[in-house]
Structure 1
């Protein structure tokens, strides 16, 4: 009996250790200004929605990644104010403004629903579905489980595009890009317009981010680096523009966030997941490395950032990062900037 109990305790200890196999938070790690209320299962990716009529009513939209998952809306203090349940492993989420739907302009959140192999679209701020049950992606592909997603709004005609990554895929054409269209019946539909993007084959591509002002799309090729392409599918030049951030990461390259300082300058923040830090690169030019900032966030998958200060509540802007513990952490940009010097 004692031997059997010893075996059980040893097994439980090993399982517990495996579930907590991450680097400890550094003693000098930046502390969050706020932490959200926990979701039910497992946070994965946030996106910040700005209420342009009253920025203090802005929301953080975040996914709860589980077979019985949900899309959550948090206020600027981290309190849960709304959620849409019944989603099958929602992964990443992004936001677009002023999308044409049935004769009106609507802000939308678009997320990947991995187990149904669809993207889902919800209006903001009410989280009402606008997709007639979901839009299938990677049609005809054997490996079609969607993970990463990012939205690009083309300045010339306000066309909105969805760029989707997946769990596995080919060495070329790993990402598929769709154009959102009004179906005339109160929902949105999507048409594939481009297949692009190299892939190392080492792990997967989850984090995708679009710089709407400069017209670039970045994505994390996990354990390999960050790749850069033009975001506009109409560009004749469709080759890889850069492949950076190949050094200094403990393992996985994860969430990418873009912080503008001017229309053409600023920073890219990339999660160094297993080190519990964010690697910061120049937004302009060849995306040169700037600094590594340790944070209290544990194994961050996804993040988002805005320069909006919300009445001074988050000086310099708000940075939101997913953390273990079923939560998202809120940071002030000024606090991050202070660690870059």
Structure 2
């Protein structure tokens, strides 16, 4: 009875406050709340220092052999890297990349023209070298001659977030890059066209865009290729929406997710039900939840779901049949214990459906 009263008191405090507050909870309260959190199917082996952001590469000839790639930012005196995992979270140490200088975010694209063929690539930011790095998949072979410099015309560099956009009309691949700090004049993000020449991938700056509120930073970025939009988290303000194609201009198309976040809006990922419908998920980092919005229309709020992640900074989700364990896709989210958590999308789908029925 005592434990039940603790739970009622804690929930009453939240309800009276309206906006979420950081609050002290008894061990009993935490245990009771955690029983309703969505649990992962697998948790990856730990990295050395500090996980940050994952990406998923689909092995289309053998989906169960697909890969998860996650960043380890490193720590004081310890370099970071890109860790390559199988779908059970086991590290492939031969493919993993070490000795990167503060890699933050990573993304994947398919079909880059390269030496008369097309290849798949993983691209990450390397903050302390002011560059982005490009690796050929699945070998994880570096094909960027040591890195592509970014934000070269500004003193505020330090790249953090990255998302890759593949333009449907010509399959051209672009990298949208954010940074630790930037201007508030609508040029926080830089977009680069990626092209290979003589076996080396280079980037050409094609536009600067993106309003920043001036609070905290912009790190999380995601692109919806089919719909043609790029979204990014203005961490203490909102989620912002723009055209992904640089030819369509730099007008801000929308803002959402302004309310009911505890602190930072972080990792963004898009689950595609069809070419035009689905969900956008945004991490409420300090609350250990993800907010779910519609992919279509005005990105209306649907639900807030509690996850087992701790202080999740980055996520990725793919709707693909990876076999009997993940027939409707995989959701991967960073957790603050040096791991990434791997979820069966069916568990999240059920939680969304249950929330919509309430």
The question of 1:29 aligning with 2:44 is answered no
Aligned to 2:149: 136
Match of 2:187 among 173, 177, 183: 173
The residue number in structure 2 matching 1:77 is 88
What is the aligned partner in structure 2 of residue 305 from structure 1?
A: 317
Please show how residues 70-149 of structure 1 align to structure 2 within 5 Å.
Answer: 70-81=81-92, 82-149=95-162
Cα deviation for residue 338 of structure 1 reads: 1.4
Choose which of 308, 333, 351 in structure 2 pairs with 1:296. Answer: 308
Pairwise CA distance, 1:327: 0.4
Q: Is residue 2:247 matched to residue 1:239?
A: no
Question: Residue by residue, what CA displacement relative to the aligned partner does 1:20-79 show, whole Å, maximum 9, x if unpaired?
Answer: x99968421111110001111111000000011111110001111015111111001100
Measure, in 2, the Cα distance between the counterparts of 1:316 and 1:52: 15
Secondary structure of the 1:47 match is strand
CA distances 1:241-262 after superposition (whole Å, capped 9, x unpaired): 0010000100000000000111
Q: Which residue matches 1:189?
A: 202
Deviations 1:72-120 (A, max 9, x none): 1100110001311110000000001010112221100000000000000
Q: Secondary structure at the match of 2:210?
A: strand
C-alpha RMSD over aligned residues:
1.4
Q: Deviations over 1:280-339 (max 9, x none)?
A: 000000000000010110010000001113112124210000001110001111111211
What is the rounded CA distance, in whole Å, between the counterparts of 1:195 and 1:103 in structure 2?
31
Deviation at 1:124, TM superposition (A): 0.7
State which of 201, 204, 216 in structure 2 corresponds to 1:203: 216
Offset at 1:187?
A: 1.1
Separation in structure 2 between the aligned mates of residue 186 and residue 315 of structure 1, nearest angstrom? 36
Does 2:291 align with 1:279? yes
**Structure 2: stretches of 5+ with no match in the other structure:** 1-22
Report what 2:230 is aligned to: 217
- Asked if 2 retains the 8 angstrom alpha-carbon contact of 1:102 and 1:187, the reply is no
Q: Secondary structure at the match of 1:337?
A: helix
Q: Which residue of 1 aligns with 2:60?
A: 52
Number of aligned positions between the proteins = 319
1:13 aligned partner? none
Gaps of 5+ in 1: 1-20
Tell me which of 158, 174, 180 is aligned to 2:171.
158
Extract structure 1 runs of 4+ deviating beyond 3 A. Answer: 21-26
The residue number in structure 2 matching 1:14 is: none
C-alpha distance after superposition, 1:143-177 (max 9, x if no partner): 10000000001111111100000011111110000
**Counterpart-to-counterpart distance in 1, 2:240 and 2:299:** 11
- Mapped partners of 2:136, 2:84: distance in 1: 12
What TM-score results when the alignment is normalised by the length of structure 1? 0.91
